[in-house]
Amino acid sequence: MELVKIVEILEEIAPPELADDFDEGRIGVILDLEREIKRIVVALDANSYILKKAAEMRADLLITHHTLIFHPINKISKPLAASLKLALENGISLYSMHTNYDRADGGINDVLAARIGLKNIEILEIGRIGEIEPCSSSELATHVSECLQTPVMYAGEKEIRRVMIFGGSGFREEFLEIARANKADAFVSSELKHDILRNYEDLCLIDATHYATENPGMEELCSRLRKLPGIEVEFIEQPSGLRAIDRTLSRRIKDALDVTEEKTLCEQKEMKKDSMESMIEEQSRNQVRSDYRRSLGSESRRKYME
């Protein structure tokens, strides 16, 4: 099948005009090697690991959620060179669908909602909201961890009936306001930040990782494309590798333990010097650092802003 034909089908599944404006330049054909497409592979990311697998599988087209070049470039970095070499030498064209597939019917968010088992799902502009059997925050977190086979981090204890989900990085104020407005009790997404945690203590917030909340949608896309006649379609898995560890002592236990003991666990910078003396030393070091910062042109300082 010609690429142009496949693009038509993909644009029906995830119409490009559904994409966020910031995705300009990142949706659609990213690399067109003009070859008859016989084998498609689908994956979450476009990187050298995926492209190597794709080459091994003799794919002609790789469809991903995250594009190859996120920020526009003038130079080819080494990792990009490695990925491009694999694509170019093995004749693998690239196609990317991102926020358009998040929003699309049957896309990232619909699949995520289904995987978690939400009922009576309502479609918001981009996320989804639905109901579950009443449970506690830790029960929901456990359920999500099992359903998505991912470690999760969560906060906010409450009884939960309504859950809003958003695949990928969705802990943004505007989405949490939608959650509140729609009387959600919990919000499942990824890349939870401190300020969101502080400002939405009334909600149960579950960070189920970017990978685990988006990968199912790409698996599903793969299944749908398998229905195309005369084309083989495979999925490439690339787990995030994330693991959780929690060695926090409960408050009660901490109170019971000797503070000194805690200190033996983790060595601490010793601050034995006379406080006056040490304060003077630190201030003179700060002075050196201030002078250095001041000496930087405003441009080089500014780089930390973006």
Stretch 71-100 residues interacting with a copy of itself (CB under 8 A):
72-76, 78-79, 81, 84-85, 88-89, 94, 99
Residue 248 binds a copy of itself, judged by CB under 8 A: yes
CB of 291 to a copy of itself, least distance (A): 9
Q: Considering only residues 209-228, where is the footprint of a copy of itself by CB under 8 A? A: 209-211, 224, 227
Q: How many of the other CB atoms lie within 10 Å of CB of 134?
A: 11
CB of 200 to a copy of itself, least distance (A): 10
Residue 252 binds a copy of itself, judged by CB under 8 A: no
- Which of the ranges 35-43, 56-64, 178-186, 238-246 carries the binding residues for a copy of itself, by CB under 8 A? 238-246
Q: Considering only residues 44-63, where is the footprint of a copy of itself by CB under 8 A? A: 45, 47
Separation of alpha carbons 99 and 19, rounded Å: 5
Residues with Cβ within 8 Å of residue 245, at least 6 apart in sequence: none
Separation of alpha carbons 66 and 32, rounded Å: 17
- Residue 130 β-bridge partners: 163
- Which of the ranges 52-60, 159-167, 179-187, 271-279 carries the binding residues for a copy of itself, by CB under 8 A? 271-279
CB of 109 to a copy of itself, least distance (A): 12
- Residue 207 β-bridge partners: 153, 189
Tokens 């084309």 correspond to 231
Q: Considering only residues 151-180, where is the footprint of a copy of itself by CB under 8 A? A: 151-156, 168-169, 174
Residue 8 binds a copy of itself, judged by CB under 8 A: no
CB of 23 to a copy of itself, least distance (A): 9
| Helix, coil or strand: residue 200 | coil
Q: Considering only residues 131-150, where is the footprint of a copy of itself by CB under 8 A? A: 138, 141-143, 145-150
- Which of the ranges 56-64, 158-166, 178-186, 266-274 carries the binding residues for a copy of itself, by CB under 8 A? 266-274
- Residue 235 β-bridge partners: 42
Residue 203 binds a copy of itself, judged by CB under 8 A: no
- Which of the ranges 55-63, 158-166, 178-186, 235-243 carries the binding residues for a copy of itself, by CB under 8 A? 235-243
Select the residue interacting with a copy of itself from 10, 37, 63, 110 (CB under 8 A). Answer: 110
- Nearest CA to 13 out of 103, 114, 113, 124 is that of 103
- Nearest CA to 63 out of 45, 86, 83 is that of 45
H-helix or E-strand containing 129?
Answer: strand 128-135
Residue 249 binds a copy of itself, judged by CB under 8 A: yes
Residue 261 binds a copy of itself, judged by CB under 8 A: no
Residue 260 binds a copy of itself, judged by CB under 8 A: no
Q: Considering only residues 113-132, where is the footprint of a copy of itself by CB under 8 A? A: 113-117, 126
- Nearest CA to 18 out of 107, 94, 93, 95 is that of 107
In terms of C-beta density within 10 A (0-12 exposed, 13-18 middle, 19 or more buried), how is residue 206 classed?
buried
Interface map 178-197 toward a copy of itself (x if CB under 8 A): ------------xxxxxx-x
Separation of alpha carbons 244 and 252, rounded Å: 23
CB of 159 to a copy of itself, least distance (A): 16
CB 218 within 8 A of CB 65: yes
- Residue 175: which region, alpha, beta or left (left: phi > 0; alpha: psi -120 to 50)? alpha
